[in-house]
Every structure is written in structure tokens, then in C-alpha cells.
């Protein structure tokens, strides 16, 4: 399961990552999610977290002994780091248009969308191995109400090696990395990245194996507090 971090100022203002910590609202939400889902999430092992402050703080609040995983880091946007998208669109409109429409473009000097997709895809496929390398078996994330149907493919949230028990992996990953993982796993056109929304503190469950993934997205880690 891939978990997005709790909210902070960067996420509120659509700013490119300056590695800021969670704000007060984000810390509170992460702590509530931890109280609700920590016991379930701790059944997933190993646990990983992207190296940003917000991802590490979210992992801590969820009670995860997470190993750092650089492959789940935020999109490297080079000289745009710390700036807001609205500001950039006004100041560098042509560069932003190229970035949004050409998956090979990197006008900021960092990673292109294709490079981001490749980085996260290599990590994801490395968890489950090549097609056919693992037996199948169901798995459930927090709040799913039970395991998936018998015989369904399983993967980073539940897969079994040739001679070992099923593994259920959890990773607190940057939203861009989660979106790239979904695009890679489902073999979607790179343009689909821009049509995906992964809210803070939600789980994206990918079950299966390299070359055959199934998706369950938008899993809340805490009950809706209501109005």
C-alpha cells in the first residue's frame, strides 16, 4: 500500500517541494489516522518512507518503523523547487506548457515525467519481481473489511515469494510518486498522470505482480470527521 503524507503548506498552495514539515492541521490528521489505522498498517512489512520531512513525520505518526526509500521521493523539478505553480505559469508560461504536455520535457533542469515514471516503476517492479515470479494470494488494507477474493493476484500489498509467506508492504510516498506508480502499474499513457488525484492521508493499494497489477485507490486512513 502506498500512503500519501498529511497536509502541509506546500500541498495547500500547490508549491513544488521545499521539504517543509507538516503544519498543525496535518500533524493532527496524521495522529488521528495513526490512532485508527496503526495496528492494521503494522501488519505490513517492510515499511518505507520517502526522505522528505512530511513523509517521515507521517510515517512516525502512523506508528511505522519505516526505512528511508529515495526512489519514492518527490518529483525533482530543479530550479522550480519552492515555487508555486500559479507563479510559474505567469512568469514562464511556455516552459510550464511544455512540462504539462510533453512527458520528455524538463525545462526546470530536473526530472522529466518519463524519468519520474521510470524511477518509481523500477522500485515497484523490484518489490514483486518479474511476471510469474510469485504465487498469488489476497491481501487487505486498513478498513477493507477483509481479504481480497481467493486466487486474486497480489503484490506490494500482498505477495508470496516462491518459498516464503505473503509480504504486505506499506510505503509513505510523495503524491507525485504515487501517481507515477499507478500510471506505471496500469501501463497508462503518461498523460494520465495529470488526471490522477491522490488526497492526503489516503492509501493506494496495488496488488499483483510486475506486468499485472490491480488498483484500489482513495482508501481513507481515518474516519471522516464530518461537518
Cα–Cα distance list, 24 to 8, 30, 54 (Å): 8, 10, 12
Over residues 26-45, the mean pLDDT reads: 86
The grid cell for 38 is: 496503526
Averaged confidence pLDDT in the chain: 82
Phi, psi values for residue 200, rounded to 5°: -60, 150
Smallest CA-to-CA distance from 40 within 56, 64, 58 is with 64
- Note the pLDDT tens digit of each residue in 145-168: 333 333 333 444 443 343 344 568
* In the predicted structure, residue 193 carries a pLDDT above the cut 60: yes
Is the pLDDT reported for residue 141 higher than 70? no
Q: Give pLDDT tens digits for 60-119.
A: 999 999 999 999 999 999 999 999 999 999 999 999 999 999 999 999 999 999 999 999
Closest CA to 113 of 163, 60, 49, 188: 188
Using the predicted structure, report yes or no on whether residue 59 has a pLDDT greater than 90: yes
How much is the pTM? 0.82
Concatenating the DSSP letter of every residue in the chain gives -EEPPPP-HHHHTTBPP--PPP-HHHHHHHHHHHHHHHHHHTTSBSEEE-SSHHHHHHHHHTT--PEE-GGGPPP--GGGTT-BHHHHHHHSHHHHHHHHH-TT--TTSS--HHHHHHHHHHHHHHHH-STTSSB------TTS-SPPPTT----TTSEE-TTS-EEB-EEE--HHHHHHHHHHHTT--GGGGGG----TTEEEEEEEETTEEEEEEEEESS-----
Strand partners, 16: none
What does the pLDDT read at residue 150? 31
Scored b (16 or more CB within 10 A) or e, 83-93 reads bebeebeeebe
- Confidence at residue 196, expressed as pLDDT on a 0 to 100 scale: 96
Amino acid at each position: 500500500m502506498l500512503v500519501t503524507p498529511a497536509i502541509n503548506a506546500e500541498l495547500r498552495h500547490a508549491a513544488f517541494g521545499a521539504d517543509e514539515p507538516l503544519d498543525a492541521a496535518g500533524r493532527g490528521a496524521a495522529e488521528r489516522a495513526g490512532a485508527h489505522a496503526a495496528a492494521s498498517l503494522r501488519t505490513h512489512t517492510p515499511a518505507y518512507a520517502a526522505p522528505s520531512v512530511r513523509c517521515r513525520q507521517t510515517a512516525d505518526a502512523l506508528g511505522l518503523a519505516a526505512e528511508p526509500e529515495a526512489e519514492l521521493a518527490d518529483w525533482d523539478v530543479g530550479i522550480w523547487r519552492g515555487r508555486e505553480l500559479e507563479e510559474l505559469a505567469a512568469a514562464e508560461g511556455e516552459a510550464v506548457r511544455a512540462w504539462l504536455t510533453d512527458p520528455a520535457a524538463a525545462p526546470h533542469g530536473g526530472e522529466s515525467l518519463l524519468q519520474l515514471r521510470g524511477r518509481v516503476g523500477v522500485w515497484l517492479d523490484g518489490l514483486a519481481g518479474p511476471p510469474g515470479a510469485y504465487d498469488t494470494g489476497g491481501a487487505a488494507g486498513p478498513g477493507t473489511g477483509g481479504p481480497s477474493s481467493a486466487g486474486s493476484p497480489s503484490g506490494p500489498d500482498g505477495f508470496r515469494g516462491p518459498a516464503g509467506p505473503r509480504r504486505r508492504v506499506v510505503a509513505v510516498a510523495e503524491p507525485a510518486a504515487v501517481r507515477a506508480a499507478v500510471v506505471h502499474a496500469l501501463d497508462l499513457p503518461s498523460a494520465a498522470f495529470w488526471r490522477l488525484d491522490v488526497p492526503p492521508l489516503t492509501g493506494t493499494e496495488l496488488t499483483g505482480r510486475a506486468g499485472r497489477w490491480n488498483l484500489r485507490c482513495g482508501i481513507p486512513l481515518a474516519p471522516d470527521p464530518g461537518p
